[in-house]
Amino acid sequence: MQVLTDNHVLEEAVTYLSSRITRRPEIALVLGSGLGDFASQLVDPIEVPASAIPSYPTSTVEGHEGSLIFGTLKSQGRESLPLLVFKGRVHFYESGDLDTTTYPIRMAHSLGSRVLLATNAAGGINPAFSEGDLMLIEDFIDFSFLNPQWQVQSGTANHFKKTPDGYIDKHLSTLILESGSELGINLRRGRYCYLRGPSYETKAEIEMLRRIGADAVGMSTVPEIIVAAALGMRVGAISFISNLATGLTEERLSHKEVAQTASRVKQVFSALLTETILRIQN
Ligand code: HPA
């Protein structure tokens, strides 16, 4: 099996992708469950299926189509920095391997991306939240008890020094909040709790997470954030509350429900992402 932290493996993928693009993608955007449609807004898109990229991991989860799209966003005379959009991600629960889960981030960084915008679908824990809300991730609780940082410096222990604000970039978060208020979105703010999954939580687990201060829960994003920040990228992250967490509603949780709420919230989420991306400067 190829080791995905091997620089040669990464170089092969980067060489292939560099031959397909004309501009360095400054911003990497990861689209979570059911949010893949956003990619259709890119101007002059170059779409590369995940399967065409050497060693690139492919996802098995519905709504996580595996492709990469390069392009820019244009709106009312404004143009964004070049983007690399990941339509779908590979979760830790699919591969059981953090190198695989974070491979796209290391690849984006090697291609020249300096900003990561990560999105996901999450269960709402904060009692003030409603299904369909959007939440700026201000901080996270890593309940996977796995740490992907060590690999960033080729296998050596790396006690990564966070900024005083943590992994999430304050300035990017401000841009997201400003974009939300410009668009009249009631953007929530909170702490995302990352669990390995793939099963949804029990009522008792959600009660525990609420007591320790989690506002939303999900099964992705945190390994990506940690690796991106350790590589020196500026990171911003947004959850869309696709459902209320177990025990907060009578409804039974399903991946279908997550996808249905995504299709309802898509337009608002797209508008928020577009406005935020247009505001990101070098
Ligand atoms: N729990 C965990 N992950 C999730 C949820 C949830 O309720 N909703 C979307 N992803």
208 is catalytic: no
Which amino acid makes up residue 112? G
Q: How far apart are CA 259 and CA 173, in angstroms?
A: 26
Residue-level pLDDT at 166: 82
**Protein residue with its CA nearest to atom 9 in ligand 1:** 122
What is the mean pLDDT of each successive set of 10 residues along the chain, which is 282 residues long? Answer: 64 92 95 84 93 81 73 94 92 86 93 97 96 96 81 54 77 97 96 94 96 97 93 95 89 72 84 96 79
201 is catalytic: no
Nearest in space to 266 (alpha carbons), one of 62, 86, 67, 40 = 40
Residue-level pLDDT at 164: 61
The Cβ-side half-sphere exposure at 130, using a 13 Å CA radius, reads 4
Sorted by where each starts, the structural domains of the chain and their CATH numbers stand as 7-279 (3.40.50.1580)
Buried b (16+ CB within 10 A) or exposed e, 242-281: bbbbbebeeeebebebbbebbeebbebbbbbbbbbbbbbe
Catalytic residue among 47, 95, 255, 270: 255
Residue-level pLDDT at 64: 52
Residue-level pLDDT at 178: 97
Residue-level pLDDT at 1: 41
192 is catalytic: no
Catalytic residue among 94, 138, 201, 224: 94
Answer yes or no: are the C-beta atoms of 257 and 243 closer than 8 Å.
yes
Residue-level pLDDT at 162: 62
**Protein residue with its CA nearest to atom 3 in ligand 1:** 218
The model's pTM:
0.91
